[in-house]
Structure 1
Amino acid sequence: MTIAPENRPLLMVNTHARGKRSAVTCRLKCNDACLHPAPNESANEYFKDVVSSVLSRRAVLGTLAVAAGAVVIGAQGVGAPSADAVTLPEGRFPGHAGRGLAFGAIDPQPVDVDALVVPEGYTWDPIIRWGDPILPGARTFDPDNQTPEQQAKQFGYNCDYLDILPFDAGAYTRGTRGLLVSNHEYTNAAVMFPPTAKYWETDAAGNVTTKKNAYARAIERAAHGMAVVEVRRPAPGKPWSYQRISPVNRRIDMDTEFVIDGPAAGSDLLKTTADPTGTRVLGTMNNCAGGTTPWGTVLSGEENFNGYFVRAGANPTADARYGIAATTSYGWEADDPRFGGGAGYENEANRFGWIVELDPHDPSAPPVKHTAMGRFKHEGANVTLSRRGHAVAYMGDDQAFDYVYKFVSSRRVAPGYSQWARAHNKTLLSEGDLYVAKFTGDSPAAEIDGSGAVPSDGAFDGSGEWLPLVVGGASKVAGMSVEEVLVYTRLAADKVGATKMDRPEDVEISPVTGRIYVACTNNSGRTPTNTVEGPTEPNPRNRKVVGGATVNGNRDGHVVEIIPSGDQTSTRFTWNLLLVAGDPAVEGTYFSGYPRERVSPISCPDNLAFDAEGNLWISTDGQPSSSSIAKCDGLFKVPVVGPERGHVQQFLSVPAGAETCGPIIDSRDGMVYVNVQHPGEDGTYAAPQSFFPDYVADGATPEAGDFRGPRPTVVQVYRTR
């Protein structure tokens, strides 16, 4: 079913972007990372639904408890198990391949289709859009008269990670009241602001230029961060509506104070003139994916923070490794010295690039940046529980040729949602062991030729180990202190010989099997002429042939499956590739042996999610693969066990220029949720290239509260029959 009044032509493919991705997205989101040499120049080998129920005694005793990866739960919560502790085996269950949400796969949509397309039998509605008021004093969105004060009370821009939590902490289902939590990754001033002197600088003749003024930049800072919004619905399976006024509604932006905790808190590497203690910082930025913890808090990853800071010069090696340059595209350094890297603010960039934890159920609780989990370009973090109740978090560093990480908490989870248990569990990520992954293939090097051809043993697979960075409160990296390892985690991982990968983004744990899945989005830098390293079995493609022409780089990405060797805390694992993505009509794609002619084309896997039946869902950023035709991004289902393993089916397609983010699959309610980010990215306020989600036609007069151009939006998809 197509929901839109008309289709409109959109952006042209930019030469340095893959697929349909806009050059504007590359500039604003990742500071043109693919135009610069990969920051990693080391010589290493390259390379929700039920989670919160684990803290309920009732659920632990039932079959759903295996979803948490098996955990010891007792009255004490920490230390030795109590007498009534329940010990569950590590998840290794067959799942229910082919079950779950039923739909007919849709056709891929051409890149100029300005519509959100869903299967027959489903429809969609917005839940909340950029600019919708959520705090007292916020007015109805008026795009011609936006202010920093109003934006701070409104839903922010470019929503990415998404979850809808039960309204009451510890509730098993979402019911009819919930807490919607969303990230706001970055802003696009050209689409947000009218071409007037209120938002743009003027030249000597009084003409409006394309350079933002301080007023516009202040609005942008207020549009970053996170949001918590109460939502209600008449019954499960029915659409939600957001509550404009609610005591739990909250905005986190660049003026919000965060607590810095963990081993690096108070370090000289984190102190500034504004914060001589190194324990407090204002704001969070470029928040990409995230995760919801078993104790009901939300994690958010600070990703491309480097694009907001001017190189300070205090540690040029670290600045270069993190991609901090001499200029920024945002220009915030003109408004606040902490972004300029000057005297007293040399460490300000070190205070970003962390995992943030937010308690949506407690509006008074300050959000926390966890230094124990390391500093890099966090896509997000997802937590499971080990057999003995330790929190185990998996994380990807979203950069070409960077790494996959694991964190294991020192403390053990406390059962239930009492005030004491919740307070204790919110400390689990403050102290623990940090590891980085090393992957080894089991095929002869000659069989990994860069084309994506499957080796003779029939699979891309091998073994691996988690290399220690910090264990037991001590650094395991020669020549680096614990504080240095955690603040300069990329440099530490380089030293121990981690495996470089093709932009590891979201990392998710199956609630059914306990296996871990890593979305490697793409790597245009892994080419036949790469002088550092060519293809390896964990990253097997550096070119493809389309219509007789060779296209260099891993433009389409792949998905890695990691199988722990025992408990989730084990430092050994085996691995294989679930998918080598791309157009199935093109050689060099792989779908776990499933017939290529029966799968939907998929490229650039980004965010991952699981349904209750254990099917993996993949949202894309850069879909599709062919060099001759571009398609809109989408959301795809793929079973990971049984005869349907590898059967990719497209569920929805997002509008022109947009990216699919933050999927939630509620198969019991028959509902799917996604964040639609940066629709019409290549357009401008005066000449929009998308009209999503309100579809006010070009030249028409918008109704009150409607913006003629595109608005990043949280979308719900539900059955009509």
Structure 2
Amino acid sequence: MPKDFSLMEDSNRSANPSLHQVSDPARRVLLRGAAGASAAALLAPAAGALGGCATPTDPAIASLGRRIGFASVPMPASATDTLTVPPGYTASVLYRWGDPVGVPGAMPAFAPDASNSAAEQALQAGMHHDGMHYFAIEGSSRRGLLALNHEYTDDGLLHPQGMAIWGPEQVAKSIAAHGVSIAEVERKAPGNGWQLARASRYARRITAATPCTIAGPAAGHPLLRTNADPGGTRVLGTLNNCAHGVTPWGTYLSCEENFVFYFEGPVRPDTHQRRWGLQAGGGFFRWHEHEKRFDARLEPNEFNRFGWVVEIDPFDPQSTPIKRTALGRAAHEGAATGQTDDGRVVVYMGEDARFEYIYKFVSRDAVRRGGFKANRELLNHGTLYVAKFEADGSGRWLPLVHGQGPLTAAHGFADQGEVLVKTRQASDLLGATKMDRAEWTAIDPINKEIYVTLTNNSQRGASGQPAVDAANPRAYNTMGHILRWREDGDLDATRFAWTHFVLAGDPANARPGARGNIRGDIFGSPDGLWVDPRGVLWIGTDVSPTALGKGDYARLPNNQMLACDPSTAAAEGGPDIRRFLVGPAGSEVTGSVMTPDLRTLFVNIQHPGESPSERADPANPSRISNWPDGGRPRSATVVITKDDGGVIGS
């Protein structure tokens, strides 16, 4: 959705008790009593590599360890419409909104006046690039597939007349600009010579109109049946795809986030609809005016068919995307995936909405050899949990299983399918911890520690809203923070120990709650998150364009990407965080991933500038952008290499 965070969904009115025990923002670790001693032991540095953890196979990479060696990029004094990387690095644009995806025989070029048709847009890069992964072809660091999400559309830029004309063609084009791209990329020339393959047998677009299969415990459930799909197993499209995950068998997990804004609700929504924020006048994208399945007054169950994690096989362009209901329904931000020592899959997921939750899924079965074909059913069976963070630095995973605790028919859950469709209500009943917009999750491949970004929550502690608690310690939290935890044993454990990895902010702020405790380069609103194979943590920020350069963000006029060695946090008073990239005006920096040799970095630059009317608004200079080519701003994938051919960040 448009990045005005004042519009973020805020529908959790459950009576979950607040912990009312505020952690000290000057400290990172909250450890008290016997439970604290246990947590401290769990968070102590691991001795050697832990079983089941991935480690770099290239000796040259392994020898680097987690060290970073680049010089920090200076933060510009005011918003600039450029992309800046450290000295010794080169960045170039690879795949913009509107670029042809590379389907053989179908190569519609981008029209600078945005006059491409809906049919052409369905064969071009969608709008607002977000989560992304590089799938190596035969292990190559010079040829692979980029799978990337297109989160939402800015219809003021998507159409030649903006929103002045609104009809079936405009809705169809907006639908076509959502979803996922699978694009083949190759490094043909020395240096930074990456390019899109002009005709690829793998290339395709998946849009908000592409047929998808519904699988898992909720497939066929009465709450998922519609007039068009009385069986409740097939749905058209995936939308608001934000962050992502990758399975051990080589498929892409695309996460449906703020889907509520695509649906027009009734004047008097029922209890279930209210809990998910559905309301009259809520159809922000106005699709319901010409695509009636998005009118929940006419087809109320269509709304339940979104908010899932979608599995996509990038190597089979004929395959059908699958919505995996066993992973629960939420405003899914991402799906970081790891494995237990016995080979089962664990998926960590945040929910990007105020006062919502953090989840993990543990598969019943272990991964088998044979790729997607051998593991096609694996994500349909397992246990979904929601997190509860205790004040003493410990935590529990609460199972979302029908028949356990209050999750019974007496409390409105007829079966497991209903628990999964109503994941939020089930989490409310279990007393899970309400978070400050939990976004990307990441797993350290060296020691299995898990990270999550909490971007911000300006409503924390406001009148009538939940008070601060141990995991979310700041009222009027404009700056956000990052949590870190380690499971009490393997990744399938039901208890964990947690800490504040860092509280974002600026020490020059007059308001104490916005100063944070960063050691190194300052930032706010952490969002994107990734730990690379050698253990370096990469952080992308997503400050609202309306906040850039103002108030608590007066010294932070652009979004950025930063890197750190997380192992330095305890020994040196906090991680040494360095700024690697500063984005163009008004943009979000997201979706970072590298080739297997770590010598090429792909990054997405989302929503540079905003709609033309907003870009012309002198009261919002931080939104003005013509990046990357002049004229209409276009979200794009950027490729970054080190001039000496070395490992990124070294």
1:332 aligns with 2:287: yes
> Partner of 1:599 in structure 2?
520
CA contact (8 A) 1:522 1:556 kept: yes
1:663 aligns with 2:592: yes
Separation of aligned partners in 2, 1:565 and 1:64: 13
CA contact (8 A) 1:286 1:305 kept: yes
AA at the equivalent of 2:289: A
1:519 aligns with 2:505: no
Deviation by residue 1:585-633 (Cα, 9 ceiling, x = unmatched): 34457877xxx5x510110010100122212111000067725444200
AA at the equivalent of 1:517: Y
AA at the equivalent of 2:450: I
Give the deviation of 1:374 after TM superposition.
0.5
1:556 aligns with 2:479: yes
Flag the 1:346–1:591 CA change in 2: closer, same or farther, 3 A: closer
CA contact (8 A) 1:353 1:376 kept: yes
Separation of aligned partners in 1, 2:430 and 2:166: 43
TM (normalized to structure 1)?
0.77
Flag the 1:558–1:475 CA change in 2: closer, same or farther, 3 A: same
SS at match of 1:333: helix
SS at match of 2:242: strand
1:432 aligns with 2:382: yes
Give the deviation of 1:672 after TM superposition.
2.2
Flag the 1:314–1:358 CA change in 2: closer, same or farther, 3 A: farther
Give the deviation of 1:112 after TM superposition.
2.2
Separation of aligned partners in 1, 2:520 and 2:129: 29
Separation of aligned partners in 2, 1:272 and 1:243: 40
Flag the 1:571–1:326 CA change in 2: closer, same or farther, 3 A: same
Give the deviation of 1:43 after TM superposition.
1.4
> Partner of 2:75 in structure 1?
108
> Partner of 1:184 in structure 2?
150
Flag the 1:488–1:140 CA change in 2: closer, same or farther, 3 A: same
Deviation by residue 1:497-539 (Cα, 9 ceiling, x = unmatched): 0001100001111111101101000000013x43343211111
> Partner of 2:137 in structure 1?
167
Map residues 391-470 of structure 1 onto 2, 5 A cutoff: 391-415=345-369, 418=370, 421-442=371-392, 462-470=393-401
Give the deviation of 1:310 after TM superposition.
1.2
> Partner of 1:718 in structure 2?
641
CA contact (8 A) 1:502 1:521 kept: yes
SS at match of 2:390: strand
After TM superposition, the structure 1 stretch with the greater mean CA deviation from structure 2, 405-414 or 638-647, is: 638-647
AA at the equivalent of 1:487: V
CA contact (8 A) 2:335 2:441 kept: yes
CA contact (8 A) 2:585 2:608 kept: yes
Separation of aligned partners in 2, 1:667 and 1:358: 21
Separation of aligned partners in 2, 1:181 and 1:572: 34
Flag the 1:101–1:684 CA change in 2: closer, same or farther, 3 A: farther
SS at match of 1:102: coil
1:39 aligns with 2:11: yes
> Partner of 1:681 in structure 2?
610
Separation of aligned partners in 1, 2:554 and 2:249: 47
CA contact (8 A) 1:580 1:588 kept: no
Give the deviation of 1:584 after TM superposition.
3.2
CA contact (8 A) 1:45 1:498 kept: no
Deviation by residue 1:241-279 (Cα, 9 ceiling, x = unmatched): 111211110100122100000001000000000000000
Work out which of the residue numbers 463, 478, 491 in structure 2 matches 1:530: 463
Work out which of the residue numbers 77, 94, 102 in structure 2 matches 1:127: 94
1:137 aligns with 2:90: no
Flag the 1:325–1:347 CA change in 2: closer, same or farther, 3 A: same
> Partner of 2:224 in structure 1?
270
Flag the 1:287–1:431 CA change in 2: closer, same or farther, 3 A: same
SS at match of 1:563: strand
RMSD: 2.7
Flag the 1:24–1:436 CA change in 2: closer, same or farther, 3 A: closer
TM (normalized to structure 2)?
0.85
CA contact (8 A) 1:237 1:670 kept: no
| Unaligned ranges ≥5, structure 1 | 1-22, 48-61, 70-94, 201-209, 443-461, 543-552, 697-707
Work out which of the residue numbers 408, 425, 437 in structure 2 matches 1:503: 437
Map residues 8-23 of structure 1 onto 2, 5 A cutoff: none
After TM superposition, the structure 1 stretch with the greater mean CA deviation from structure 2, 262-271 or 657-666, is: 657-666
1:477 aligns with 2:407: yes
Deviation by residue 1:263-297 (Cα, 9 ceiling, x = unmatched): 01000000000000000000011000011111111
AA at the equivalent of 1:67: C
SS at match of 1:117: coil
Give the deviation of 1:475 after TM superposition.
8.3
CA contact (8 A) 1:562 1:573 kept: yes
Give the deviation of 1:96 after TM superposition.
8.5
CA contact (8 A) 2:388 2:398 kept: yes
Flag the 1:476–1:235 CA change in 2: closer, same or farther, 3 A: farther
1:608 aligns with 2:529: yes
1:150 aligns with 2:120: yes
Give the deviation of 1:107 after TM superposition.
1.4
> Partner of 1:25 in structure 2?
3
Separation of aligned partners in 2, 1:507 and 1:24: 22
1:651 aligns with 2:629: no
Deviation by residue 1:521-577 (Cα, 9 ceiling, x = unmatched): 0000013x43343211111111xxxxxxxxxx1000000101100011010001000
1:621 aligns with 2:621: no
Flag the 1:98–1:137 CA change in 2: closer, same or farther, 3 A: closer
> Partner of 2:42 in structure 1?
none
CA contact (8 A) 1:469 1:493 kept: yes
After TM superposition, the structure 1 stretch with the greater mean CA deviation from structure 2, 626-635 or 496-505, is: 626-635
> Partner of 1:79 in structure 2?
none
After TM superposition, the structure 1 stretch with the greater mean CA deviation from structure 2, 369-378 or 106-115, is: 106-115
Deviation by residue 1:144-198 (Cα, 9 ceiling, x = unmatched): 3210010011111101011111123xx3xx3221001110010011122223xxx
CA contact (8 A) 2:406 2:429 kept: no
Separation of aligned partners in 2, 1:602 and 1:396: 21
AA at the equivalent of 1:718: T
CA contact (8 A) 1:515 1:562 kept: yes
1:491 aligns with 2:461: no
Map residues 57-72 of structure 1 onto 2, 5 A cutoff: 66-68=52-54
1:692 aligns with 2:622: no
CA contact (8 A) 1:398 1:505 kept: yes
Map residues 621-640 of structure 1 onto 2, 5 A cutoff: 621-622=542-543, 626-640=552-566
Work out which of the residue numbers 235, 238, 248 in structure 2 matches 1:284: 238
| Unaligned ranges ≥5, structure 2 | 20-47, 56-61, 617-622, 645-650
Deviation by residue 1:648-669 (Cα, 9 ceiling, x = unmatched): 1110011001001111145943
Flag the 1:393–1:314 CA change in 2: closer, same or farther, 3 A: farther
Give the deviation of 1:215 after TM superposition.
1.9
Flag the 1:312–1:429 CA change in 2: closer, same or farther, 3 A: farther
> Partner of 2:160 in structure 1?
194
Separation of aligned partners in 1, 2:156 and 2:515: 39
Give the deviation of 1:474 after TM superposition.
7.2
CA contact (8 A) 2:52 2:341 kept: no
CA contact (8 A) 2:529 2:539 kept: yes
SS at match of 1:347: helix
CA contact (8 A) 1:578 1:591 kept: no
Give the deviation of 1:63 after TM superposition.
7.6
CA contact (8 A) 1:617 1:636 kept: yes
